[in-house]
Amino acid sequence: MAHGTMDYFGTNAQSFMHRVADLAELAVRLGSSDVFDRRGNVLLMDSFDSGMAGWTEAHTSGTGWVAPIIQPTHLGRLAIGCEYSSVVGATGEIARYVAMPQISNYGFEAAFQPAANNRYFEQLFDVYDGTRVYYYGFRWYQQTGELKVLNSLYAWETITTISPLVFSGYPWFVVKLVVDMDTHHYVRAMVNATTYDISAYAPYSATADMSAIIYLSLRTANDVADTTMAAFDDIIVTMNE
């Protein structure tokens, strides 16, 4: 059977090299988690199938914990579970540093499954350029539907309000935050199928003598004194967005 022709076709010269028209389609078929938004070049992709290597965790003291789990997961074999301590406002968080090869537009994507009583889901994207640090942040308030960014005054400013999360079988949601490190502004936020233009907002910045690097953090908080669990999965950092 000749490559690229019908099964009943004749013969062609043998070749070991063939063009692939859609590498993204190939990535999907091979099980990559980079399928939600295919813009940019992938700098870091972590499905946590090897656990929490490279990440640190923090949680409100008490009965809470943050650790790899086998159920629920988004796409792969493992995810990161955040079980809250049984106090109002308890939090769970994972974080890490990522080397920054160049100044450009960067994206930070994550899948999460909130608990029914979540207060918010938060992404922090702190950028150190050698002389200053820029604090980018995005929050999705679960009960009110408010979407907020961390503004230049280091305050959480509402950009829009969407329908509160509806739970039926505890679905996974995907959020992506894109920032412009050249102009020091936000670019866009994606929540499932909707993209929000947040280019009018600038992050808070301060003097910092730390070498050029990115600090990533995902955090959730609860609204009631309960020990329900939220989860993170499929972290993707992109450049040249």
The predicted pLDDT at position 207 comes to: 96
DSSP-H helix ranges across 137-185: none
- In the chain, DSSP assigns E strands to 41-46, 56-59, 65-69, 79-83, 91-99, 105-113, 118-128, 132-141, 146-150, 156-161, 173-180, 185-191, 194-197, 204-207, 213-222, 229-239
Decide if 227 is inside a domain.
yes
pLDDT digits over 63-117, tens only? Answer: 889 999 999 999 889 999 999 888 888 899 999 999 988 888 999 999 999 988 8
Higher pLDDT: 227 or 208? It is 208
CATH value at residue 231: 2.60.120.560
Is-contact 48 24, C-beta < 8 A?
no
Decide if 69 is inside a domain.
yes
Distance CA 98, CA 92 (A): 20
Is-contact 175 198, C-beta < 8 A?
no
Decide if 167 is inside a domain.
yes
The predicted pLDDT at position 39 comes to: 83
Sign of the dihedral through C-alpha 149, 155, 160, 164: positive
Distance CA 220, CA 159 (A): 19
Per-residue b or e along 89-108, where b marks 16 or more CB atoms closer than 10 Å to that residue's CB? ebbbbbebebebeeebbbbb
What is the arithmetic mean of pLDDT over 159-187?
A: 90
Residue span of the structural domain in which 80 resides: 39-239
Decide if 172 is inside a domain.
yes
DSSP-H helix ranges across 12-162: 23-29
Decide if 154 is inside a domain.
yes
Of 113-117, 152-156, 200-204, least confident by mean pLDDT is 113-117
Decide if 110 is inside a domain.
yes
**Position 61 confidence tier, pLDDT thresholds 50, 70, 90:** confident
Decide if 108 is inside a domain.
yes
Among 178, 55, 43, 187, CA closest to 101: 43
Quote the mean pLDDT of the chain: 87
pLDDT digits over 107-151, tens only? Answer: 999 999 998 888 999 999 999 998 999 999 999 999 899 999 999
What total of structural domains would you count in the chain?
1
The predicted pLDDT at position 20 comes to: 61
Which pair of tokens denotes residue 177?
């935050």
At CA 141, angle to CA 56 and CA 187, rounded to 5? Answer: 75
Residue in the structure block whose two tokens are 């020091």 = 184
